[in-house]
Each structure stands twice: as C-alpha cells, then as structure tokens.
Amino acid sequence: MKIATLYRSRLAQERGTVKKDWGGRVSVALIYPNYYQVGMSNLGFQVIYGILNDNPAIVAERAFLPDEEELSIYRRTDQPLLSLESLTPLLKFDLLAFSLSFENDYLNILTILDMSKIPLMSKERGENYPLILAGGITTFMNPEPLANFIDCFLIGEGEVILKEFFQTYLDLPLSTVKKEETLRILAIEVEGVYCPSLYKVEYKGDGLISSFEPLIPSIPSRVKAVRQVPFNGPLRRSRIITPFTEFSDTILVELSRGCGIGCRFCAAGYMYRPPRVIEEEEIFTSFEQILAEKNSIGLISPSVSDVPGIEKLTSFILDRDGEFSVSSLRANSLTKGLIENLKRSGQKTLTIAPETGSERLRRVINKKLTTEKITEAIILIAGTGFFHIKLYFMIGLPTETGEDIKDIIGLVKSIRHYLIKESRGRKKIGRIRLSINCFVPKPFTPFQWFPMDTVESLKEKQKTIKRTLSVEGGIGISFDVPKWAYIQSLLSMGDRRVGQMLLTTHRNNRDWKRTFRSSDINPDFFVYRARDLNERLPWDFIDHSIQKSYLKEEYNLALASIESPPCKVGDCTRCGICT
C-alpha cells in the first residue's frame, strides 16, 4: 500500500474536512505529535484546525506521527512526511504548528521533523525552511525543554492568540523579510508570543538560573499568556467527525473551561483561570444545530456535573433522540437526575476522582471532597442503575505516608461494599476499575516546589496496592509506569539544558537510560530536588496573572493540611486573575 492510498482512505471516512486551493494563501501544517487516532480525539486540536481554516488567507492541513503501518511505508520509500489533506511534504509549508498536550510527546516532535527532512535545531534552519510554531497547555506551563527546536511559542488560548498572530504575520512582506526579523516583530507586537532565540539564559555554579533576559531591549522581559475572557463566540466543538478515534463518530463539545476548585496539583486548574462557562442560551441554540447534524455528543468539561443546568441540557439531548457521554464527574456535585439521564443515554461507566484514600491528604491537595460524599455518590449511582465505576487515584503526593496508601485500599474496599449492597437483587454488579497515577509536579501550581517521589518508592506503593486489591473480586487496576512519570517530570520541570537530553535521546533511538549515563547534568536535579520558594524557576518569565505570593500561600496551607476556598470569579482577588 502507498501512503497516498492510506491517507485517501482515511479522508474518505471523515466528515468536515477542509480542502483549500493553495493559491495566494499562507500554508500551515497543524501537527499533533502522536497517532491520528489520538490527535483527532483531542478537541483543542480540532478547534485550532477550524480557527485556522476559517481565515480565508490561510490553508491549514493536518499531520500526525505515523503509526506502525505508515512508518513502514515511509521507511521503505524514504519519502518525507506528508500532510493528510493534499499529500504535501511538510517541508513545503510556510509554517509548521505543533499542538502539544503531553510532555511525553516531545520526542515525537523530533521524529516528525527528522522524517520531514527538516533540521532539528532552530539555529540550523535557514530561510528556506518553514517557521516552527508550538502551542498547547504544556507550552503555557514550561516551553524551555523545547527552546532549541521551536522558533516561536504561542502562549495562551488559541481563540485569541491565533487571530492576533496571523493579523501581524500576514501584514509582513514575507517574500523579503528575514526569519530573525519576523520573530523580532512577532515578539514585540503580539502578546503571548515567545521566541526563545531572542532571550539569553545564564546559570550559577550550583546549576540554578541566575538570569533570563531578552537580547533586544524592545522585547518584553515577561511574556503575558492570553486567554479568552469573556468566554463568548461560537461553541467549541469537533470540526471533523471520523470513526477512527476514541470517540468514534461523536461530536465533542466544550461546555466550560477552567476549574475553580483549586486542587493544588492540577495545572489545568491554574492555566485556565478564571473558570468560565458557556452562556445557557448559546448552549441550547448550538445544540439544536448539532443534534440536527449528529445524535452522538461527547460533553467536555473539567467536571460535567458542575456545569450549571446540566440536567436540563442532558434531558434536552435525550428528548431529541440524541445520546451523550461525559468526560468526568465530581462526586459531590452528582445528582439523581443527571445519573438517570446517563442511564437513559446508555453510558455504562462513570468516572470520579477521589485522588487519595485519606481525608487528610485530600485537604493537602485542596480536593474539597470528604469520604462521606464519596460514599453518598456511590450509593446514588448504584441505587439508580447498573454502572461500572472508574476511580482515579494519585500516589507519591507531597506529605504522603504509608497510612495514606492503606487508606486507598480501605476506601476502594468500602466503595465495593456499597456497590454490592446497593445492587442487591440485580443479576449483575458493576465492576470497579482503578487508575493509579504517579504525582508529577507541574509549573504554576502550589506543588511546583515539591520533588517527585522516587521511582523505587512508587513501585513499592504500586506493589502494596496490587497485592492487596488484586485478590478482591470485581476490581481491576491499571498503573502509571513510574519511569515514564520520571521522564514526564523531567520535561515538565526542566530548563533549556533538558533540550540536549531530548536531542541525545532521539539520536539514541529513544534510549533514555543511555542518555542519562552520558549526560553532563544529572536529571535528578530537575526531578528529585525540592525547590527553594525564592529561586528563579525556568518558567518565571511567563505571566499568567497568578501572583507567586498566592502560590506560596497555597504551598504552606498544603503543608498544614488546610483547605482554601474555591474561586469566586469577580469577587475574590487572592490569586490575582480577577484584579
């Protein structure tokens, strides 16, 4: 099979694909650095595709990391990586724009550039190569590990920054202006643009950052992240429907963005402040149109059960012969009406996230969820109908003890007990599926100063949980791989020097152990080191409008196991967003 045949077959089963003539337009290859099935399941990627193609001056096509079948064809033919829509080599585009959701996809960026016959290092790419852009939540937090490979980062929400970026970019005399001058103009004129080559980083003898300064006085010393406030405009939804995704033939719709609970480990809860919801009138008008197009809808929100009017909306969908699924639920905001609607829609598994087994540790992370509320939610779910339950937990959290691990086991057994008790008289009892994840510290959270737990400690905790719960009936367990959590932490918390480790690992055929053995810098410096509250952090040059003093206050409250109040948008100035 040829790549052209494979891609045309894929396109033939899509609905909503945009194909434009290239004549007189700026060409953008929008790249998700993972497989097609993963990228097309990402609502943010789909929204950006729509934003770009809504601009008549732009032709935007997609590219992905080749799967095994594609990879074998590319290797056999030695042809450069092609776009999906027009089978154009990525090398021929004006811009390549990476959409980044996960740090562990960073190596895939280098693979994609390599397969496209494009030099990996930005300083080695001359005027004839595309401009390389990157955006997405991982770049909002800390773009520095990718600083040597990316020409320009877009720090902020796409609805705002893409409009401003292309207004400026399209006004440039692109046939004559050089790349360095293009970057300088973009960095000066477009809020949220960060061009690493225009900044210099210096380090102290102990490895800490001593200075981070722009090379040109007119370049801002801090890059302000941009966000869409107020949260208006068209509903964010899938632009392309395809059977080859996790959400097969389903339209994904974003109901809200951000979360006001303030869990201290959660990057999204800080990156997307203030929390925002779509106006009810806009939602119902849009859903009339969506249901006329497709009856299967995926509702996306940090917690769907927190969305105002969610019972009314889900009833609206069902009454029009639609069906829906939800991304996540909060135990203390579940209602019988919502669960009844989930049952009517045919959803078989409900997901909630206790995160920890003990109430003490839930206070540390600011979860605002008691064991009593978790139990009430399980009783409500089981009493309403047959459901499997998926539970998310974290291990390796700051201040965690052996007792906290035992409390996870105790809580799961208790949940199983209530599930059986409330399902009495039924032929089947729902199963419990545990997803046990390793804590990874994230920038711009109160936990950014804490180290990650050691790989060895995490493995022991996993063994304890597995040994005890695997003998229990009706419980399945999946675990994070601690060594990959270590890599994620390195890429999350590292500075520009981690970029050299990325490059070496790419050249070492993805062998991280081999890279670490030869590295001049110990990766433990970034992963296992507790940071001083006053040290300069690699991402401190980004301005998210969140006061560092607030994050320090939350850090100290965590150590004291004290919860803080949730966001009161417009009525609170604690974090700085609403000042």
Quote the CA–CA distance of 370 and 119 in Å, as a whole number.
Answer: 53
Higher model confidence: residue 88 or residue 174?
A: 88
Cα angle 5, 9, 12; round to 5? 135
User: Pairing state of beta strands 276-277 and 349-355?
Assistant: unpaired
Two structure tokens written together for 453: 């737990």
**Which of these, 407, 340, 342, 326, lies nearest to 370 by C-alpha position?**
407
Quote the CA–CA distance of 208 and 498 in Å, as a whole number.
Answer: 13
Quote the CA–CA distance of 356 and 378 in Å, as a whole number.
Answer: 16
**Which of these, 195, 180, 189, lies nearest to 134 by C-alpha position?**
195
Cα angle 272, 277, 280; round to 5? 170
Give yes or no for residue 233 having a pLDDT over 80.
no
Q: Tell me if domain 3-224 and domain 251-493+545-559 are identical in fold.
A: no
- pLDDT for 362 equals 98
- Whole-number mean pLDDT of the chain? 95
What value does the mean pLDDT take over residues 326-355? Answer: 94
Quote the CA–CA distance of 558 and 519 in Å, as a whole number.
Answer: 35
Q: What pLDDT digit, counting tens, does each position of 153-181 carry?
A: 999 999 999 999 999 999 999 888 999 99
Sequence-distant (≥ 6) Cβ neighbours of residue 292 within 8 angstroms: none
- pLDDT for 234 equals 81
H or E element at residue 193:
strand 193-194
- pLDDT for 399 equals 98
What value does the mean pLDDT take over residues 337-353? Answer: 95
Give yes or no for residue 85 having a pLDDT over 80.
yes
DSSP three-state, residue 445: coil
Q: Where along the chain do its domains lie?
A: 3-224, 251-493+545-559
Burial tier of 517 (Cβ tally within 10 Å: 0-12, 13-18, 19+): exposed
What value does the mean pLDDT take over residues 12-40? Answer: 96
Half-sphere exposure of 464 (CA within 13 A, CB side): 17
Given pLDDT bands bounded at 50, 70 and 90, which one contains residue 139? Answer: very high
What value does the mean pLDDT take over residues 57-78? Answer: 95
Give yes or no for residue 1 having a pLDDT over 80.
no
Range list of H helices, 320-370 = 336-345, 359-365
Domain at 251-493+545-559, CATH from 3.40.50.300, 3.40.50.620, 3.80.30.20, 3.40.50.2000: 3.80.30.20
What value does the mean pLDDT take over residues 252-263? Answer: 94
Given pLDDT bands bounded at 50, 70 and 90, which one contains residue 37? Answer: very high
Q: Would you list the DSSP string of 59-112?
A: EEEEEE---HHHHHHHHHHTPPPB-TTT--BGGGSSEEEEE---GGGHHHHHHH
Q: What pLDDT digit, counting tens, does each position of 409-468 carry?
A: 999 999 999 999 998 878 789 999 999 999 999 999 999 999 999 999 999 999 999 999
Two structure tokens written together for 219: 């370049």
Measured CA to CA in angstroms, residue 436 lies from 262, 267, 327, 329, 481 at distances of 21, 18, 18, 17, 10
Percent of the chain exceeding pLDDT 90 equals: 91
H or E element at residue 138:
helix 137-141
**Which of these, 131, 133, 209, 137, lies nearest to 172 by C-alpha position?**
131
User: Pairing state of beta strands 209-214 and 199-203?
Assistant: antiparallel
Phi, psi of 253 (to 5 degrees): -135, 130
Sequence-distant (≥ 6) Cβ neighbours of residue 534 within 8 angstroms: none
Two structure tokens written together for 507: 């050249």
Rounded to 10 degrees, the C-alpha dihedral 260/263/265/270 comes to 10
3-state helix, strand, coil in the chain (%, to 5): 40, 15, 40
Q: What pLDDT digit, counting tens, does each position of 276-331 carry?
A: 988 888 888 899 999 999 899 999 999 999 999 999 999 999 999 999 999 889 99
What value does the mean pLDDT take over residues 509-538? Answer: 97
pTM: 0.96
- pLDDT for 148 equals 98
Residue with tokens 């097609």: 36
Given pLDDT bands bounded at 50, 70 and 90, which one contains residue 380? Answer: very high
- pLDDT for 188 equals 97
Domain at 3-224, CATH from 3.30.1180.10, 3.40.50.280, 3.30.530.20, 3.10.150.10: 3.40.50.280
Long-range Cβ contact pairs of 56-59 (< 8 A, separation 24 or more): 56/25, 57/25, 57/26, 57/166, 57/170, 58/25, 58/26, 58/27, 58/28, 58/166, 59/20, 59/21, 59/22, 59/25, 59/26, 59/27, 59/28
Quote the CA–CA distance of 278 and 71 in Å, as a whole number.
Answer: 41
Q: What pLDDT digit, counting tens, does each position of 396-425 carry?
A: 999 999 999 999 999 999 999 999 999 887
Decide if 221 contacts 541 (C-beta within 8 A): yes
- pLDDT for 176 equals 87
Given pLDDT bands bounded at 50, 70 and 90, which one contains residue 571? Answer: confident
